[in-house]
Structure 1
């Protein structure tokens, strides 16, 4: 078995990989914060408002990457399962994520963390050898790197469903086969909302600090819209175009039928009106 097969098995087949990877990161983060002395550090001296304020940040740096790791496994498995039902080539593309997307996520998360989420004062203290501050510095970077990886991978998957939506056969009167396109986006939306919910641990001291949430919402809001809409956009567009075409066809027939007044034409007119109403009621 080659490395690619092992990785595929770890992500898509192993029943324990999700739990083990999440536990591994939790243990790593707790060891990092413990060895660095962060648990014993003076919160006020480090610039925090209280001990609880510091503990909230520690919880965030431990739980949020763990959440994204678990979601990465679960959503990829879910997307792979859905893809196999729709198109074999789509399933293959979902499991063959180009390496550049991981680099995009890593670099995007790293730059965002360094530019917007790590206070300038932290750099100086890290360079001075403050191990507790170095642990916070690394923890904050890891939060955004894992966020970047998650977004990059899920946007890639969304793009694959977007591409399939351009060619998959559609029947506007029977859309059950198209439901997976919406399901993929909804699952990704739940991931973002879950991450936002976890971020509230920063306020365990019952203090709301806008700066703690603003940088997250700047990413979370557009990411939620993109992840929700991207997989189903082409399908939605094609359904809408088909609905408009059908309605235009029926309206043209109605205008032609309106010129006659015999009984057969009246019956035909009634059928056309019913068809128009049915088309109007179609979801796209």
Structure 2
């Protein structure tokens, strides 16, 4: 079954090998994002229902203008083969949202729509300013259900919001530690490159998050453990105090998929935080790899109905 993930991956691939179309796409996305940012600055009160409806209407207008401009500038920049590949895929995805992109007939339309509309999350991803766990907990204190965000007293189990916050903090701490050990970082990168391919393939094939748990277990037992054992002397020189504290805190996570291998973290060592993060299918690394793999698939074969219809 073809999904929007495959369409987005296909569009990314087609744009990568078409510099002219990519330049047009990038410029229009940038202008669209600027317009959305300006729009959001005008409507900063989410409690005003009337204003929010106007915001939605104006956001839709920005997206429509961006798509129309893209169609005018990018039509004719793609080869017939690329357009045929894209069309064969996108016309098999149900839903009006994807249908809007399919209707314009130019590869890259769906990616453009998503890129313009998701400007706020994209800005967050691109923001390199470190946000401490304390800041994160302060931001979610009003919604915390376990008390940890307000009291900093460790509960028997963290609520879902606090679970997410401490997981991100653990991964951030791990990245900072590994950055000071180039050999460890390089070896772990190789382990995760292979694992990401495996996890993405599983998600694309089954859609069942539980199916990838054994794959993460194998990566921990084999790849991550091997790296930590090989570079044990170098790792012993690193300050892992905070990493271990956050590891212990993450064992109280409410997210079952994250804690599936919690008892092995101390044995596996560095890399465990990233492995735990990959338990979330929404993790950007997983999503990006799913798009890359799905996007490289060939055009689907015509169905029996399509073959019969084409003979008429």
Using the size of structure 2 for normalisation, the TM-score is 0.27
Structure label with greater radius of gyration: 1
Higher relative contact order (CA 8 A, sep 6+): 2
Using the size of structure 1 for normalisation, the TM-score is 0.28
